[in-house]
Every structure is written in C-alpha cells, then in structure tokens.
Homo-oligomer: A and B are copies of this chain.
Amino acid sequence: MTPEKQAAPAGAATLPLPPMKWDAWGDPALARELSADIRGLLAAALGVTGDAAPGPAAAEVVLRPCALTPDDLAALAAVVGEAHLGTSDADRLPRAGGKSTPDLLRRRSRDPQDAPDAVVLPGGEEEIAALLALCAERRIAVVPFGGGTSVVGGLEPLRGEFAAVVSLDLRRLDGLLGLDPTSGEAVLGAGLTGPAAEALLAEHGLELGHYPQSFRYATVGGFAATRSSGQNSAGHGRFDEMVRGLRVVTPAGVLDLGRGPASAAGPDLRALFLGSEGTLGVITAVRVRVHPLPAARAHEAWSFPDFATGAQALRAVEQQGTGPTVIRLSDEAETMVNLAMTERIGGEPAAGGCLAVTVFEGTADQVAARHRLTRDALLAAGATSLGEAPALAWEHGRFDAPYLRDALLDAGALCETLETATDWRRLPGLRSAVTAALTAALPGALVLCHISHVYPTGASLYFTVVGALGEDPLERWAAAKRAAGDAIAAAGATITHHHAVGTDHRPWMAEEIGEVGVRVLRAVKAELDPAGILNPGKLIP
C-alpha cells in the first residue's frame, strides 16, 4: 500500500471508519509483500510479470454526488443526530461496497464510482425503526452495513426503484447485552466485530468460537445475516447453529424470536432471518451459545496420497464424530502452491500429495480423546502425520489470505475464491466439474481447492483461482463465475456454502430454491418491507 493511498479523501470523514480499508482488505499494517518465490511462480505459471496499474488515491476517487435532498438529510439527522450522519466522500467511500475482487477492481477505477448517498449510525432499535419508517416514507433504499467484508456484492449501494440509498452502519450496536454462563448463552449486539465480541466474552472466561476468514472485521449481525461458517465450525457448528434467538427490526415491526433451546411451536422463524442479508429486516442482537475458553489445544497436520483418499478420511472422521475443532483438506494443486507460497518452506521440495490440518480444543481430557480418535481414523484411512508445524503455520496465517490477494492484484494477478457444498458421494464429481469450468473460462489459471467444512452427510469445497488479470478483469472474472455457478447448479450443489448470495449469486437463487421458494421469499419481503427499501437487488430474485 503506497502512502498516498492513505491520504484523506475529499471531504473529511465525520464518522468513525469501518474496520476495513476502502480499497483493500483489512489493516494496512498487515499488508503483505509478495516474495521473490511467489513472483517467480506467477511469472512461470501464469505469465504474470508486470504490476497492475495503480488505482486512484482515495482523494482522487470521484464519487457519484449525493442524491438526498437537504430535507432528507435533515430528517435523517433528526433521527440519529448530526454526529451520526455522514455525507462526506470520506464517509461514503468506505461503505461503497464489499471486498470481492470485482469490488476491489471497481475501487481502482478512475471513472465516477457509486457509493451510498449518506451513512447513518443509529444508536439502537428505536432509531433503526424510525429510520426504516422515514426511508419507506421518503422512498430511500437502505443497505445494512456491518464489517464491510461481503465478497458477493452484498453491500453494493443499489437503489432499486428509488432515487437514493443510505448505508445503515450498525457499529454502535456493540454491547454485550446479556450473559448467562449457566446456560452458556450470551446476547451480542449486531455491530460487534468478531474480536470485540470475543474480548467481551473472554472477560468471563467464555468464547463464541466463530472464526471465519473475515473474523477480524466482520460483525455478529453479519454472521447471522449471511449464515456464516467459520474455520472452527467442525467443532462449534455454523453460526446459524449457534444462534438461539435474535431480534430483528423490520418496517412492519420488531421480531424477538427463539424461546428455549428447541421448540416445536411451528416453523422456526429464526431461519427466515438467518441468511436474510438485510432484505427482510435489520438484525440488531443475537443470542448465541458460548462455551468456556479452551483449556487445551493440539495441532496435527497430515498428508494424503491424493484428494480422494483424503476426502474419504475426513468423511470417516466426521461420520464417526471424533470431534476435531478444525479439519480441512487441500487438493494436490493447493497443497503444492501453499508449500511454494509459505515463507518458511524456502527451498525445500514440495511434499506432494494433499495436506490436511486438524486442530483440537477443549479440556485437556477432551483434547486428548478427540486427538487420539481422530488420529486413529485418519491413519486407518491412509494419512501420514506431518506433525504439528504445518498445522500451526496454517493457524498462524488463517486470516491472512485476503492480504495475499491484494498483493497479487497489485502484481497484476487475479485471485478470487468461491465455495459450494454437496454430499460426500457427489463431492469428487463436483470438484472436477467446477475445476473444469474455471479452467475452461480462464485458460492457464491455477485452480486450487480445499474442503473447508465437513458435515456427516457432506462437505464444502472452497476454490481459489489465480490467473492473469487480462484486459478486462471484471468481465473475465464474471465469465468464470458464471461458468462455475452453472457447473455447481448442474451438479445439484448449493451455489454458496458460506459467502451468501448478495448480488453475485442471485442469478442462481431460482434454481436453488425453485420458483415457489422465490415466491415465498417475495411474500415475506412484501409483508415485512412493503415499500421494498431493504437492500434492493440482493438475495431475492
């Protein structure tokens, strides 16, 4: 990141900034330089040798002018207070989108960029309800905003049929609102980031244990609104499984859902809002399961001769319920590249095969038992132990891959990811089909894959593509994404395992849930948001 990109943009910010940078992932201090090894690999494997043209500095970005009238702005300020309304370019630009590669490419444009017309930071549910009423009345679209980490276009400032759009940033809803250590439950404000939530819980010796790659920046409300899944979800479950209750402010009123640990009192309406991506209401607080901070941890990495053997082994572990907290398997290509890209490998020859990582957490007894049972199952299924070092190395860098993507983009390489899930039986075929689709759409690109999450009946596949940016990288990636999405749909797999829908997966939603399913979502939307102001153009086809 060059210093001039850090300069204040035109119109000084009046609001606190989101945790993510406006044009790249995360914290500038954590930005990565590409090693000579990686540059060599890019040149040799992809023919990428010249850096990409640098994007504009923030101050050089030209934003679409604010479309709100002074009267609109006064009305918004009357709800949240002047101090919590931002209209400067410096306030708007950081909420202009998420962090997909298309988002980052758009941020690098010197053409006028789109952005929300204003940013509001409500202080609580009453203000959110008032904002929604005001925006419905004045016909202003609303994009709820958490950590800004969407990689599926979930934060695009789309206006739908309206003239203006505001970003509703939930960062002020950052409290630990309730704690019941006996039941192992905490009520968390939707605006808490992962680290902020964990810090509040750690004061009580407790942990949420949800660690998606976006952990450092994403928020509790975003985890819920997108059905997030984390790296420890093998042990602690997906975020939607952790949620015991939630509060949602909709234009039609407030919902407070979830009584008891389980219920048969009709359909579980929590499920309508988990994954609703801000289209049905604004999630303000989530009651989640928490557990004691782990007293013990263990790490072990494994090598399998090939992906199929490794997948079989992960299936055996998961179906036997031996309880690793983390378990993941890279395919041959990802294993090779990871080894090449990891600084500590240096000149060592790549080990080949497929790398798997396991981490175990809990009490010392639990860790010992889980580690032993998992080891037995993996060894019986053809694994060779690589010891703990590669697993520790994975853990050390577990949140850092997006920084590498930024550096690759600077170096002229397109690096993007997508994920899906299917049952164990169809997993090998799905991997082949998606790899083939991506390779055909991006000739010469590297297509890497790993099993990121396991379930008794199936697993997710997480693909990483690295290729040359080309002349028109946005269209180049769009074509690859279409090909991959079509291959996923044709295989009967889900269009997204944990990245959510946003704008980017919306074209496949009718296939995923059927025309009747789409009608159900539209009917719920019409009931709760009759004006249609909530996140138009996202999720619901």
Contact = CB atoms under 8 A, between A and B. Distances in A.
A59 to B, nearest CB: 36
Nearest to A500: B264
Nearest to A505: B265
A492 interface: yes
Contact of A496 (B265, B421, B514, B528): B265
A505 B265 CA distance: 8
Contacts of A423: 180, 182-183, 185, 244, 260-261
Interface in A260-291: 260-277, 280, 289, 291
B264 A457 contact: no
Contacts of A497: 260, 262-264
A232 interface: no
A267 B272 contact: yes
Interface string A494-528: 11111111000100110011111101111110111
A404 B124 CA distance: 54
Contacts of A509: 265-266
Contact of A264 (B182, B183, B227, B522): B227
B513 A264 contact: no
Contact of A457 (B183, B273, B458): B183
Given A261-B458, A271-B272, A319-B291, A266 B256 contact: no
Contacts of A276: 266-267
Interface in A226-279: 226-229, 238, 240, 244, 250, 252-257, 259-277
Given A183-B423, A271-B271, A539 B261 contact: no
A289 B455 CA distance: 11
A369 interface: yes
Contacts of A335: none
Nearest to A420: B260
A457 B363 CA distance: 19
A264 B528 contact: no
A323 B366 CA distance: 12
A500 B267 CA distance: 10
Given A238-B262, A265-B495, A182 B425 contact: yes
Nearest to A235: B321
A20 interface: no
B539 A266 contact: yes
Contacts of A158: none
Nearest to A526: B523
A260 B516 contact: no
- This protein's copies in its complex: 2
A320 B366 contact: yes
A250 B184 contact: no
A358 interface: no
A263 to B, nearest CB: 4
A523 B521 contact: no
A424 interface: yes
A229 B264 contact: yes
A90 interface: no
Contacts of A514: 253-257
A456 interface: yes
Contacts of A458: 183, 260-262
A512 B264 contact: no
Given A180-B425, A271-B272, A423-B183, A262 B460 contact: yes
A459 interface: yes
A512 B259 contact: yes
Contacts of A517: 255, 257, 269
A265 B185 contact: no
Contacts of A499: 264
A453 interface: yes
Contacts of A267: 271-276, 280, 521
Given A268-B271, A520-B528, A262 B421 contact: yes
Contact of A494 (B182, B260, B280): B260
Contacts of A455: 261-262
A214 interface: no
A271 B276 CA distance: 13
A112 B235 CA distance: 57
A85 interface: no
> Which of A280, A369, A494 has most chain B Cβ within 10 Å?
A494
A493 interface: yes
A524 B509 CA distance: 18
A422 interface: yes
> Top 9 nearest A-B pairs by Cβ distance?
A271-B271, A261-B458, A261-B455, A260-B421, A523-B527, A183-B423, A263-B494, A227-B264, A260-B494
15 contacts: A180-B423, A183-B425, A244-B423, A256-B514, A260-B420, A261-B422, A261-B458, A263-B421, A264-B497, A265-B513, A266-B521, A268-B275, A269-B521, A271-B271, A369-B373
Interface of A: 180, 182-185, 226-229, 238, 240, 244, 250, 252-257, 259-277, 280, 289, 291, 315, 319-321, 323, 363, 365-366, 369, 373, 420-425, 453, 455-460, 492-501, 505, 508-509, 512-517, 519-524, 526-528, 539-540
